[in-house]
Chains A and B, each alone.
Chain A
Amino acid sequence: MKKIIIVDDDFAIRELVDTTLGSENYNIFQAENGEQAIEIAKTEKPDLIIMDIAMPGIDGFEATRILKSDPETKGSVIIILSGKSEDVERKKGFEVGADDYFTKPFSPLALIKKVEEMIG
């Protein structure tokens, strides 16, 4: 089963994404900030990370940059799931190494489709 880490400081969003993707389809881990995400990524080597941006401590951009520059973790696909929809933010996301960029509120069907497309 493919592994996914959902990174978001909002518990409700983590649960929502978790339920949407389905534990019967994926082995899902949750992290509530950048530090936790990096820690889990190192041990679990996930296929995909869904990354929020605005989080206390290491934010999503920074966490993505760290993960994508570490040979141990750069193999994971990273989709940024951000409340910020401005082009500037989107551009920054790709600059730090994200593979795709989704904005909140997101369409659950579109997210399912995207995940299947990336690691299906």
Chain B
Amino acid sequence: METDNFSDSSLHNDQLKKYAQDLADVYKSEKAKRKELQVAKEQLLIYADDLKKTILDLKVAHKETQEAYLDTIFRLVLTAEYKDEDTGDHIKRMSLYSVLIAKKLGLSDKEVQNILYTAPMHDVGKVGIPDSILMKKGKLTKEECDIIKTHSTIGAKILSNSKSDIIKTAEQIALTHHEKWNGKGYPQGLSGKKIPLVGRIVCLADTFDALTSKRPYKDPYPTEVACEIIKKEYGEQFDPDVADVFLENIDEALKIKAKVGSTEDVSLSDFTKSERDRLER
């Protein structure tokens, strides 16, 4: 029994009020917290949205940069090629042949893409070769031939000491695309798998397009003759695996050839192999 000045029921009433008051306080503070959380959540959503937009913008910018980079490479390469040809078709075709071979050899997407970007640069060293030799029609002297051969080391030098993996691959291609499987190529006389695979691939792609294109010193060879030369050079100039893959997929190569520029159709009968081809190849 309580003996103070509160009766049980008035104490209980007052106590109930205290509980109600605390409950109201808790409710109010919870509501305020919920509102704060809601505001924070909305703020986060705005940030997330901005982030998404930024990433999309970056992706677009990255793609544009990459396209500009490829375009720049192509135009720079064209300056070296401009003396022999002014359309850049040779570069386009030989790059696509290289990509075809790389794909069929089972290289990764990244490696295939690298080849697409770097194969065009294989002949940049030509900028160091005098026009009188580069554009000479007819037979080259032994000295002139030796000077032309320096384009591989000149190209490698131009592309040397880069931090970029792409340029490193380009350097490898420029240096080794005239090496031969049998070790009789230049500049280092490397043989077999000592020649980087990219060099072996570009060697075949470059040769096939040179054979089937018109040059100042020769008419284009028909595909049959070009294939015959490749077969003859199987295991000599060319890596047998690379040659196999290319000849197996010659139809696809011809599709590329048809799509990029066009060479006049010549029949087997009315062409003669040029002197220079006999010396060079």
Residues of A whose CB lies within 8 Å of any CB of B are 9-10, 12-13, 16, 54, 56, 82-84, 104-109
Contacts and interface: CB of A to CB of B under 8 A. Distances in A.
Interface string B5-27: 11010011011011101100110
Contact of B1 (A54, A106, A109): A54
B2 A109 contact: no
Q: Which DSSP category, helix, strand, loop or mixed, fits chain B's interface?
A: helix
Nearest to B25: A109
Contacts of B251: none
Nearest to B16: A105
Contact of A106 (B3, B15, B25): B15
B159 to A, nearest CB: 72
Contacts of A108: 18-19, 22
Contact of A10 (B2, B14, B26): B2
Main secondary structure of the interface of A (DSSP, over half): loop
Interface of B: 1-6, 8, 11-12, 14-15, 17-19, 21-22, 25-26
Contact of B15 (A13, A56, A84): A13
Smallest CB-CB A-B distances: 9 pairs = A105-B14, A105-B15, A83-B4, A105-B18, A109-B22, A54-B3, A108-B22, A54-B2, A83-B6
Given A84-B4, A105-B15, A105-B18, 12 more contacts: A10-B11, A13-B11, A54-B1, A83-B5, A83-B11, A104-B6, A104-B14, A105-B11, A105-B17, A108-B22, A109-B22, A109-B26
